[in-house]
Amino acid sequence: MALKREKKLILWFDEISIGDVPLVGGKNASLGEMFQKLTSKGVNIPGGFAITAYAYRYLIKEANIEEAIKDALAGLNTHDMKNLQERGERVRSIIRNTNFPPDL
């Protein structure tokens, strides 16, 4: 049985359109849209794939890092760029230092 699109870990650019922002984010949805609409017109857009939002949520859950991320963001001051940069780096560090589940 094929996975529903909402549960896929990746989607290829030729499967993605601008309507897929919730699945792959704005940049990837735009790349998919350009790939589909412009490659046939001779515009060179490299093939590729997007890691889905589902894959991200799956990693956070399976690696059990949701609380660590929440802790890193606790007290976030969105009006303080230095604070935003520091918190963002903490979250990126948590994710970088996480062992990916084998099935991911």
pLDDT-derived band at 18 (thresholds 50, 70, 90) equals very high
- For the cut 80, the answer to whether the pLDDT of residue 2 exceeds it is no
pLDDT of residue 41: 94
Instruction: Give the separation between CA 75 and CA 63, rounded to whole angstroms.
Output: 23
**pLDDT for position 66:** 97
Spatial separation of the C-alpha atoms in residues 80 and 83, rounded to whole Å: 5
CB atoms inside a 10 Å sphere around CB 23: 19
CA distance 12 to 33: 11
What is the pTM assigned to this prediction? 0.80
pLDDT number for residue 49: 96
| Segments of the chain assigned to CATH 3.30.1490.20 | 1-62
Give 7's Cβ-side CA count (13 Å radius): 4
Q: Which CATH class is domain 1-62?
A: alpha beta
Residues 37-90: tens digit of each pLDDT: 999 999 998 889 999 999 999 999 999 999 999 999 999 999 999 999 999 999
Opening angle at CA 20, ends 73 and 72, nearest 5 = 5
Average of pLDDT values for 3-19?
A: 92
Would the pLDDT of 1 be above 80? Answer: no
